Amino acid sequence: MTTASDRKELISRLQKNILQWEGYKSPPAGTQELVGLGAVESAFPNGVFPLGSVHELVCSNTEQSAASAGFVTGLMSVLMQNGGVCLWAGLSQDLFPPALKAFGVEPDRVIFIRLSKDKEVLWVMEEALKCPGLAAVAGELKDIDFKQSRRLQLAVEHSHVTGFVIRNQTDKMGSTACAARWKIKSLPSEPVDGLPGLGFPRWQVELLRVRNGKPGSWIMEWSDGKFRHINMRMVEPQKLMVG
Amino acid sequence: MAIWFRNLTTDWLSLRKPELRQIPFVFVAPERNRMIITAANPVAESQGVYSGMAAADAKAITTNLQILNYIPGKEARLLRQLGLWCIRYTPVVAVNLPDGLILDISGCAHLWGGERGYLKNIVNKLRASGYDTRAAIADTIGAAWAVARFGKITPIIESGRQAQTLMNLPPAALRLEAPVLEKLQKLGFSTIRSFMQIPRSVLRRRFGEAFLLRLAQALDQENEEIIPLVPPVPYVERLPCLEPIKTARGIEIAIQRLLEGLCLRLKAEGKGIRKAVLKCYRVDGKMVHTGISTNRGSHSISHIFKLLELQVSKIEPGLGIELFLLEATKVDDIDVLQEKLWAGNPGLQDSALAELLDRLAGKVGANRIHRYLPVEHYWPERSVKEAASLSEIPVTAWRTDRLRPIRLLPKPEQVEVMALLPDYPPKVFTYKGRRHAVEKADGPERIEREWWLEKGEHRDYYVVEDSDGNRYWLFRSGHYDAAPQWYLHGFFA
């Protein structure tokens, strides 16, 4: 006869096993805040941002895709700290390299691939995700289905490269094999020290779906080259409704 | 080996227009106010019409003679094509104007079962395709040329027997100029035998140096060079196939075999492929080719194979491929030590990255892959340039003093704007039918035209944030007083 605590332990161990079979490598014990997302990281299994897996960002308009690009760049800056190189493949021709510098990424360490079809982007992403020489791979496309996302996930399981799929202006949201589904929206910025003009870019970061984690919504700001979590209570409720 | 096309241009036309096969026809070209026949087809020749005749005379002999205009340079083009076809037999083929080809067959004949089989194979194939062909193999170009055109004996001259063979041939077999031939005829030299034994000094006085040179070349006393049609590439691997290859799998196996040879050699010499061309010679006489290029020299069989594998689908095997040719057209030295040092180190020098990019370039095209470096230009569209290679590093720093949008529209889009005061940021703007109320704004940042590059208005840029928190890059073109136009140029994160 097992006790309740035994059973709980057994379940958590089985869950961890499942995670490993699904391609996650459990990070070394005591690892915390891998990408500097602060409170957001607690939403993930074991409280650790899953590197070496594919993240999906959904955007419904150009403004959101710009915000998502900024957010991804911020994450990449952490992954590229050791002189890594990342690859950015996409349908859009308009990512402006000098802006990446503001999010901590050396633009000359990014390889851009301009493509014209979703199929090409997926092929390029899959090939790139297999390459351990890259720190991260981002792909901008219109839509991705379960099978395609599974292929990407399988590709990263060997190389442990982190992938970001930015889905531009998609209405359908089928399920995918991605580790997490994000939605990034801009929020009005707060003036810095009461000065007029724009403050630091501020986003509402929504974790719509996360495998074995807890979805949630946070407000993040990019300032001084890193993410800063804005406490919910500091923001007036109606501001959360906008966007 | 020398190949002679007896009726090169007429055969070609008969192939193009089969209805002409039974009709006598000639090509004519104007010469000293007369139309002189330059080529006659076999039907015309059988009726007594030969090249060199005046067209009017020929017309008198044969009533239904078709007279066609000579096409200048046609022989050269035809011979070039035929020569390229012959590359399947040997890499060194030269055009021998006006009606022949010269092949250097050293080390090639055994693949077709010896010289006899080799010669038979080529001549039969050319004859089957419609060209009346004669060929001969000899130690020297001169002897082969002579036997192909004038020999009534076996076309394969044994090594060292040029002199005996040439003896019975007329002097014309020595590729001589018309005045020299005339002189020889006048003096009664009807065969080469008759003047072979005459002392050189005598011959030189009478017929000149060129005559002696031709004689010496034919007899292997003087070396003769040919200019190959396709200059031989130093790094090349050939794979003739006994059975024509038609399947993708077959092509892949062929590529693998070729690479094993080529890469082994490159590795031994410390070199790597930067550019390679795979040529496939098909049974129907066409050649299909495909190429790859790499970001840095590589002699890794698996890597080059992966690149070529992507190209296999582009190769049309047609009825089958009988010869594969892999040429490394550009090679680079590889520093083996450096490769070891960088392997596995994430960065632009990583060999895995270079290999990945080669693979991507092979599939989607190298023009889709970009890496950017900063340039000292204020004009946004000119502030980045493309890096020429993976190893190129920025010469100036990336500017961070001014905000730049993460998405820059390739072409600024016009927007409707309402601003309260001149030189104030807009209060409201309309983009794609949506009104955006501006809550916060930074600017203006005036960016002047770089007048040494182009003319036009300057731009006053504003970074604006609408009530939803979305950020845009707007600019006003020109001064405020001259009814300015507003544009949206980018989106901020």
Interchain contact A223–B (C-beta under 8 A): no
* Closest B-chain CA to A201: B493
Check: pTM over 0.90? Answer yes or no: no
Q: Quote the minimal CA–CA distance from A21 to chain B in Å.
A: 26
pLDDT at A193: 76
Min mean pLDDT across A108-117, A169-178, B342-351 is at B342-351
Interchain contact A108–B (C-beta under 8 A): yes
Contact pairs from chain A to chain B, CB under 8 Å? 180
**Average pLDDT taken over every residue of chain B:** 81
pLDDT at B456: 81
Percent of chain B surpassing pLDDT 70: 96
Residues in chain A with CB shorter than 8 Å from the CB of B374 are 98, 107-108
- The candidate with the shortest Cα–Cα distance to A105, out of A131, A132, A136, is A136
* Closest A-chain CA to B411: A94
Choosing among B350, B360, B466, which should be mutated to test the A contact, i.e. which has the most A CBs within 10 A? B360
Using the Cα atoms of residue B398, residue B403, residue B405 and residue B409 in order, give the sign of their dihedral. Answer: negative
pLDDT at A139: 92
Interchain contact A67–B (C-beta under 8 A): yes
Interchain contact A182–B (C-beta under 8 A): no
Q: Quote the minimal CA–CA distance from A108 to chain B in Å.
A: 5
Task: Return the structure tokens found at B212.
Answer: 């002696």
DSSP B361-410: HHHH-GGGEE-EEE-S--SGGGSEEE-SSTT---SSPPP-SS---SEEEE
Are A115 and B399 within 8 A, CB to CB?
A: no
Q: Quote the minimal CA–CA distance from A12 to chain B in Å.
A: 35
* Closest A-chain CA to B347: A84
Select from A65, A188, A198 the Cβ nearest to the Cβ of B467: A188
Helix-then-strand count for chain B, H and E: 15, 20
Residues in chain A with CB shorter than 8 Å from the CB of B432 are none
Residue-wise pLDDT for B37-66, tens only, equals 888 787 777 777 777 778 777 777 777 777
CA–CA separation, A89 and A99 (whole Å): 17
Residue-wise pLDDT for B441-484, tens only, equals 887 888 888 878 888 888 888 999 988 889 999 988 877 666 77
pLDDT band of residue A124 (cuts 50, 70, 90) is very high
Beta carbons of B294 and B248 less than 8 angstroms apart: no
pLDDT band of residue A230 (cuts 50, 70, 90) is confident
Which chain B residues in 392-451 lie under 8 Å from chain A, judged by CB atoms?
393-394, 398-400, 403-410, 439-442
Residue-wise pLDDT for B188-206, tens only, equals 887 877 777 788 888 888 7
**CATH code of the domain occupying A87-178:** 3.40.50.300
Interchain contact A82–B (C-beta under 8 A): yes
Task: Return the structure tokens found at B419.
Answer: 């601003």
Are A108 and B469 within 8 A, CB to CB?
A: no
Question: What integer is the mean pLDDT of B137-162?
Answer: 80
Tell me the sheet residues that pair with B55.
none
In this predicted structure, the answer to whether residue A238 has a pLDDT above a threshold of 50 is no
pLDDT at B336: 59
In this predicted structure, the answer to whether residue A164 has a pLDDT above a threshold of 90 is yes
pLDDT at A242: 46
Tell me the sheet residues that pair with A140.
A90, A166
What letter does residue A231 receive in the DSSP assignment? P
CA–CA separation, B269 and B333 (whole Å): 8
Helix-then-strand count for chain A, H and E: 6, 9
Which chain B residues in 306-365 lie under 8 Å from chain A, judged by CB atoms?
344, 346-348, 350-353, 355-357, 359-360, 363-364
pLDDT at A42: 81
Q: Residue type at A209?
A: R
Are B469 and A114 within 8 A, CB to CB?
A: no
DSSP A125-192: HHHHHT-TT-SEEEEEES---HHHHHHHHHHHHHH--EEEEEEES---------SEEEEEEEEPPPPG
| Exposed/middle/buried for residue B325 (C-beta within 10 Å: 0-12, 13-18, 19+) | buried
Residue-wise pLDDT for A59-97, tens only, equals 888 888 899 999 999 988 888 887 788 899 988 778 898
| SS3 label, residue B415 | strand
pLDDT at B284: 83
Select from B344, B372, B491 the Cβ nearest to the Cβ of A108: B372
Q: Quote the minimal CA–CA distance from B331 to chain A in Å.
A: 24
Beta carbons of B352 and A131 less than 8 angstroms apart: yes
Interchain contact A113–B (C-beta under 8 A): yes
